[in-house]
Amino acid sequence: MLKQSGAIAALLLTLVVCPGLALAQSIGAKGGVNFTSVSFEEGSFASDSSAGAGFTVGGVIGLKLFGPVFLQGEVLFTEQRVTLEEVVDDRFRMLEVPVLLRFRAFGTAPGMTVHVTGGVVYGSVLSAQETVSGETYDIKDAVESWRLGAAAGAEVEFLPRWTAGFRYVYGVSKIYKTFSGGEAGTPMTMQITVGYRFK
């Protein structure tokens, strides 16, 4: 079911991007930082993790649906970092496909508008590395190749064409494969970005 949901998200973005580039009310780029931590069930895999800083960069398009509601699609290249047990540093590089509804909440100062966003984020793992005591290992075979998350956040438009955004993504799927053939580790990511709208 989760893989089907992820495939639907990717398909939806494809349907938005292909005809949407010509019809889009907005086209832009964004970049920023993210902080990812992982929650584990008691007694499984690892008992402690701390958030590491990574980056995100990519493109954004927006299509007006009705009134103040827009459909927003993004394609992002993202690096996420997680520290386990204070000695293990895991780094994931991913291609992410957020598909969001964007609602214009209210305008504040002249030229400034606040939007609320929410939707799903599908991610494909491009590479995964783990560093322990200065030694780095490829762990892509030990992690799930895809992820699905639920996203909620807000964006502020300011100055001509500039945006600043905050987003929280809660992992619906897990990160790591276990020796028993199961899955472990729920990712949680906070993302802060600045963007520029070309159109």
pLDDT at 11: 55
Residue 181 CB partners (closer than 8 Å, separation 6+): none
CATH of the domain at 95: 2.40.160.20
pLDDT at 7: 54
Q: Which structural domain range is residue 15 located in?
A: 2-197
Which segments of 40-134 are extended strands (E)? 49-66, 69-84, 88-107, 113-132
Rounded Cα distance between 173 and 3, Å, is 9
Tokens of 28: 């832009």
CA 30 to centroid of chain Cα atoms: 12
Tokens of 108: 């504040």
pLDDT at 128: 95
pTM higher than 0.75: yes
Identify whether the C-beta of residue 76 lies closer than 8 Å to the C-beta of residue 56: yes
**What would you report as the CA-atom Rg of the chain, rounded to the nearest whole angstrom?**
18
pLDDT at 199: 78
The whole-number mean pLDDT for each consecutive block of 10 residues of the chain, a chain of 199 residues, reads 50 53 76 92 66 93 88 94 86 94 82 91 94 91 92 91 95 83 83 93
pLDDT at 21: 54
- Domain count for the chain: 1
pLDDT at 185: 85
Identify whether the C-beta of residue 123 lies closer than 8 Å to the C-beta of residue 87: no
Residue 40 carries which DSSP code? -
pLDDT at 39: 85
Query: 């909620």: which residue's tokens?
Result: 152
Nearest to 38 by CA among 188, 152, 170, 151: 188
75-to-17, 97, 118, 169 alpha-carbon distances in Å: 10, 5, 16, 15
Identify whether the C-beta of residue 123 lies closer than 8 Å to the C-beta of residue 146: yes
Rounded Cα distance between 160 and 112, Å, is 9
